[in-house]
């Protein structure tokens, strides 16, 4: 099984790079709360099922700790015009959020289905 690798979002200026990258490679953002049990469960479940559904190298994966980097988390909501939730995923393609899911509605299978459509 391939080791899961996250790009950490810790500065708001990284969002510009993420948007730019999304024009060549779809980007997934995982917003995580270190104070939330559901967030831990959703993250573990996504990481465990990832390699079964998502081909290696088909997507860039970003992670933001919404508690430690609240400004970045809020910036994500503003840039992609989505309500703030944790845990939450946003799938970004060509600068637009094409999939948003939160809590226990986060599924690797759904991400894979959206990737097949782009």
Tokens of 64: 């933001």
Taking phi first (over 0 means left), then psi (-120 to 50 degrees means alpha), and beta for anything else, what does residue 22 get?
alpha
The span from the first CA to the last CA of the chain, in angstroms, equals 25
> Tens digit of pLDDT for each residue in 31-44?
999 999 999 999 99
> Tens digit of pLDDT for each residue in 99-115?
999 999 999 999 999 99
Single pTM value for the model = 0.94
Return the CATH number of 7-117, one of 3.40.50.2300, 3.40.30.10, 2.60.130.10, 3.40.50.300: 3.40.30.10
């Amino acid at each position: 099984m391939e080791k899961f690798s996250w790009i950490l979002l810790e500065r708001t200026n990284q969002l510009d790079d993420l948007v730019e990258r999304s024009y060549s490679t779809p980007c997934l953002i995982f917003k995580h709360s270190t104070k939330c049990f559901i967030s831990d469960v959703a993250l573990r479940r996504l990481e465990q099922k990832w390699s079964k559904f998502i081909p290696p190298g088909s997507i860039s994966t970003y992670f933001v700790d919404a508690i430690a980097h609240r400004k970045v988390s809020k910036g994500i909501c503003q840039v992609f015009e989505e309500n703030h939730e944790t845990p939450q995923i946003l799938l970004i393609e060509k600068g637009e959020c094409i999939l948003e899911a939160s809590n226990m509605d986060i599924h690797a299978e759904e991400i894979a289905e959206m990737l097949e459509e782009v």
